[in-house]
Every structure is written in C-alpha cells, then in structure tokens.
Amino acid sequence: VYLRYGMIVVDKPPGPTSHEVVAWIKRMLGVSRAGHGGTLDPKVTGVLPVALERMTRIIGTVMHSSKEYV
C-alpha cells in the first residue's frame, strides 16, 4: 500500500540511463508505474527522484521546478 504513494531518491551512478534505473526499480519493487523527475545523461551521476504508482501524478511538478547542476 505504501508503495502506491511513494517517492525514491536515487543517487544515479555513471553508466545507466535514467530510463534504465526506473525500469530496475519497477522490477525490484514489483510496481506497474514509475517515473523520474528529470533525465540524467548516462555518463552523469546525480540525484534522480523516482515516483511510484499514484505519486507519478506529481512528477510534472518536479520536472518544472528549478534545478541546479554542479
């Protein structure tokens, strides 16, 4: 039940795409829907917010909020 309203913050390593990370999370947790709040290039490391199930509805808000790349 809690996964339906969950958000996971991933420290994405270099290598996988953001889409691959989301696919792994879906498989590991057995959820049908997940979405990330911003695309990171495969070579880049960084914070990747991943919304699960019903929480995917707010991912647009995350996508349009201000971000800073260092």
Q: Where are the domains of the chain?
A: 2-64
Residue 11 has pLDDT above 90, yes or no: yes
> 20: closest CA among 5, 34, 2?
34
16-60, pLDDT tens digit by residue?
999 999 999 999 999 999 999 888 889 989 999 999 999 988 887
Residue 39's SS3 state is coil
Hey, which residues are catalytic here? 41
Cα angle 45, 48, 54 (rounded to 5 degrees) comes to 165
Please say whether the beta carbons of 37 and 55 come within 8 A.
no
Per-residue confidence (pLDDT) for residue 2, from 0 to 100? 72
Per-residue confidence (pLDDT) for residue 37, from 0 to 100? 83
